[in-house]
Amino acid sequence: MKWTLFLDRDGVINRRLPGTYVKRWEDFEFTHRALEAINIFGKYFDTIVVVTNQQCIGKKELTVAELDLIHSNMKKEIELAGGFIHKVYYCPNLKAENAPCRKPNLGMGWLAKRDFPKINFQESIMVGDSFSDMEFGWQLGTKTVFIEGKEEETERTRQIPVDERFENLWQLAEYLESPQADLITF
């Protein structure tokens, strides 16, 4: 397959820490059966990347080296479980800066396309737990999967198309393994 999977991190791969950030590997906890799900995704996606806003760096609550260590450990655990993540992209800027790399802006998507030229956004899925993730995917032209639980819909967010909704990555993996699954008509 030539499909690409874009994954948000906090609230999707790992549990979100309300009111704070994952600042140490010891605080990183995979969501329900996320490791198994990412392993299954390897059967359906040629490229899997993480795109995550990490303004904790801009707030000086975490260094780049500390974030890199968390991501290195995350990737190692995923690989030990039989899965893979090709690359992790993050935006360290504060939300107020509206940096090109910060979702819903498209910078991380275009960086991934530069690094993996075979990425075709029309054959990609963006999975996230915020409507900025959905807007990011929609603007790139990907399919979108909303992991429910973080945000309430508002009139503005109802205008952003969402192709599918699941409670977690494991439910998405179960769907992909089911006979009715079809990425093209997702």
Catalytic sites, residue numbers: 8, 10
What DSSP assignment string belongs to 52-83? EE-HHHHTTSS-HHHHHHHHHHHHHHHHHTT-
Q: Are 26 and 141 in contact (CB under 8 A)?
A: no
Q: C-alpha angle with apex 111: 109 to 115, nearest 5 degrees?
A: 120
Q: In what order do the strands lie in the sheet with 47-53?
A: 87-91, 47-53, 4-7, 124-128, 143-147, 164-166
DSSP 13: T
